[in-house]
Amino acid sequence: METEKIKRFADLIRLETAKMLSKRGFGHLGGSFSIVETLAVLYGQVMKIDPKNPAWPDRDWFVLSKGHAGPALYATLALKGYVPLSMLDTLNENGTLMPSHPDRLKTPGVDVTTGSLGQGISLATGVAMSFKLDKKPNRVFAIVGDGEANEGQVWEAFQFAAHQKLSNLLVFIDENHKQLDGLTKDIMNPFDLVMKMEAFGFACLRVKGNDVDAIYEAIRQLDSIDDQAKCIVLDTVKGQGDEYFENLFDNHHIRFSGDSKDALTSLIQRLSEKVESEGRQ
Amino acid sequence: MNIRFATVQTPKEIRAVYQETLNELIESNSSILVMDADLAGASGVAKVFKNHPDRCINMGISEANMVSAAAGMSLTGKIPFIHTFAPFATRRVFDQLYMSGVYQRANLKIYGSDPGFWAAHNGGTHTSMEDLAMTRALPNITIFAPSDATQFKWCMKEAAAIDGVVYIRATRKVLPDIYDPSSEFETGKAIVVAPGSDIVIYAIGEMVNEALNVRTSLATRGISVEVVDCFSVKPLDEALIRSEAVGKKLIVTAENHNKINGLGCAVAHALSEVGNLAKQLTIAVDDRFGEVGTTDYLMDKFELTSRQIEEKILRIM
Ligand SMILES: Cc1ncc(C[n+]2csc(CCOP(=O)(O)OP(=O)(O)O)c2C)c(N)n1
Ligand SMILES: [Mg+2]
């Protein structure tokens, strides 16, 4: 993998996400930022896709089960060329094709509609099972939130995936240690997610979710397994990639004003300069 | 029943009323518990959680488990108030509402917030236009759709006193004041909010205020409109609905809900046994999904603004 290229892609995704949220004045920053590096690796390196042909039958599928992180996915899709970058300006505008939660009937490149937590991962298992039944090589990548994993349906999906040995499905759990009301350990203790996944029958690794090399290596390591369901627990920080937002406790959904507005503006400035100078090199 | 109408406007966010009333209920009744599904910040009860940690439980994002666990608690004498967004309080947990709730006469109080256009930027996945259709079909349930803060507060207190499942559907945001805080309501009793002789509008929730706007506007054209607040959706005040429909030139219902199986259907059913009545106009969402947008935009999109209601009335009259 060309590490520098993927890192730059991650910077661009974070920048475009920040710009969208800034334009609208509010949004799900924390959970969007924590998956940026994973999206960069998947869309920049791993997934078999054709942005000019979103419905390509041979493509790999992506399911954002924690649908509220939609802005990060939209930024990724626009940067890949599924939709014009200018469309990002319409996030959550009246009549938009880019609503808070991804909608397969609205945005080109969105494979599955999500937003009601817990259902995306079941949908992903269904897609993967179908490819398996048809003996097709398409793979399915899904990202589940650590708060989302409170939902019983998530564990029903995991049980199904493990039982059916859906090795064409790769589940990411974004363990950013927070949900809406606070820390996961205070709201609904997840205990050790890797141990839980292993007990459910998964091959499971834990990696630093801000390290594109580590994410890529983990995906490669699991690639060789073809008789087991697979999971990568991403050890992340909610608001990842910006010191202010990482340290802001209530960073799930932010209405930008005062300090948070200034922080977002300076993040946009910093990332713009960074990608510009990298672009010149 | 003892109704007084608001003479001054001091509207509050409904979530602030939820929080304040839970504090009062907790302090006056040792059986009251508060549960939320990782939306305590959103519903305003985070502060109740801080003040009364021993009486509050955050159930995490596990709505189905919350409904059944709360129902289980109620079997031992507790009175749990649970909250999540209206779609997750109803369609996501419908069998739990049925089996754990009404079927075994659990004593459960549910606040489903931000129904219909109130979902705003949460969009279609979070929009509930069928919660009344679903819950109305459950035996052993009481359903309130309050129209202002005073009525919301009364519904919560009444819910605590009722032995059974109570569903309260309301926004978390501000509603204009309709009633004076001293008002006393009654389960199963609708309220004539304003008299009129040509048209009657039966409305619930936020649509009562829209109906009052329609009334003011049509008065300038010499059309006299009666407005009835049917906040007690179940049991519904069928007797009053029947008596107020007699002699009117048009019967209108208004709700922030799908036209299928909501207030419009309930009123039509109540009136189906009375002969010689005027036509009925159902103001409701036309069997479609929600989408993201501001509440003003969505109200307009769903054709629920007073201007649109007025136009539809004039087209029929
Ligand atoms: C079924 C359902 N219940 C509640 C919500 C409201 N909600 C949206 S995001 C969220 C918290 C999600 O936490 P987590 O999965 O950890 O996401 P992240 O930390 O990555 O943002 C909640 C409660 C929802 N979208 N769906
Ligand atoms: Mg989380």
Averaged in consecutive runs of 10 residues, what is the pLDDT profile of chain A (281 residues)?
A: 96 98 98 98 98 98 98 98 98 98 98 98 98 98 98 98 98 98 98 98 98 98 97 98 98 98 98 91 64
Which uninterrupted H or E stretch holds B222? none
pLDDT of residue A279: 80
**Helix pair angle (B14-28, B149-161), 10° resolution:** 30
pLDDT of residue A281: 64
Q: Which atom of ligand 1 is nearest to the CA of A115?
A: 25
pLDDT of residue A120: 98
What is B14-170's CATH superfamily?
A: Thiamin diphosphate (ThDP)-binding fold, Pyr/PP domains (3.40.50.970)
ipTM of the complex: 0.96
CB atoms B125 and A67 under 8 Å: yes
Q: Encode pLDDT of B21-44 as tens digits.
A: 999 999 999 999 999 999 999 999
**CATH classification at residue A155:** 3.40.50.970
Q: What residues form DSSP beta bridges with B167?
A: B110, B143
Q: Which atom of ligand 1 is nearest to the CA of A119?
A: 1
Q: Which residues surround ligand 2, an ion (CB under 5 A)?
A: A 145-147, 176, 178
Q: Which atom of ligand 1 is nearest to the CA of A144?
A: 15
B interface residues, A as partner, C-beta within 8 Å: 36, 38-42, 46, 58-62, 64-65, 87-88, 92, 121-126, 291-294, 297
Q: What residues form DSSP beta bridges with B81?
A: B34, B109
Query: What class, spelled out in words, does domain B191-316 have in CATH?
Result: alpha beta
Q: Do domains B14-170 and B191-316 have the same CATH topology?
A: yes
Contact A243, A237 (CB under 8 A): no
The span from the CA of B300 to the CA of A119, in Å, is 30
Neighbours of B41 (CB within 10 A): 17
pLDDT of residue A11: 98
Mean pLDDT of the B264-277 span: 95
Token pair 């350990």 is at which residue?
A: A185
Written as one letter, the residue type at B3 is: I
Closest by CA position to A224, among listed A208, A203, A206, A207: A203
The span from the CA of B198 to the CA of B26, in Å, is 46
Closest by CA position to B86, among listed B63, B115, B110, B58: B115
The span from the CA of B116 to the CA of B87, in Å, is 9
DSSP letters along A67-124, please? GGGHHHHHHHHHHHTSS-GGGGGGTT-TT-SS-SS--TTTSTT--S---STTHHHHHH
Comparing CB atoms, the residue among B59, B125, B294 nearest residue A116 is B125
A86 near B CB under 8 A: no
B140: tokens are: 């052993």
The span from the CA of B271 to the CA of A219, in Å, is 64
- The overall pTM is greater than 0.95: yes
Contact A123, A132 (CB under 8 A): no
* Of B13, B63, B184, B206, catalytic: B63
B275 pLDDT tier (thresholds 50, 70, 90): confident
**Residue B287 above 80 pLDDT?**
yes
Number of domains in chain A: 1
pLDDT of residue B159: 98
DSSP letters along B78-122, please? -EEEEEEEHHHHTGGGHHIIIIIIGGGT---EEEEES-GGGGGGG
A99 near B CB under 8 A: yes
Active site residue B210: no
Give the mean pLDDT of chain B.
98
- Show me where the domains of chain B are located: 14-170, 191-316
The span from the CA of A218 to the CA of A238, in Å, is 21
Sheet holding A203-208, edge to edge: A61-64, A140-145, A169-175, A230-235, A203-208
pLDDT of residue B119: 98
B232: tokens are: 């007690």
> Which residues in chain A touch residue B41, judged by CB atoms under 8 angstroms apart?
180-181, 250
Domain hosting residue A49, numbered range:
3-280
Comparing CB atoms, the residue among B36, B42, B294 nearest residue A94 is B294
pLDDT of residue A278: 86
Give the mean pLDDT of chain A.
98
Written as one letter, the residue type at A190 is: P
The span from the CA of A73 to the CA of A63, in Å, is 10
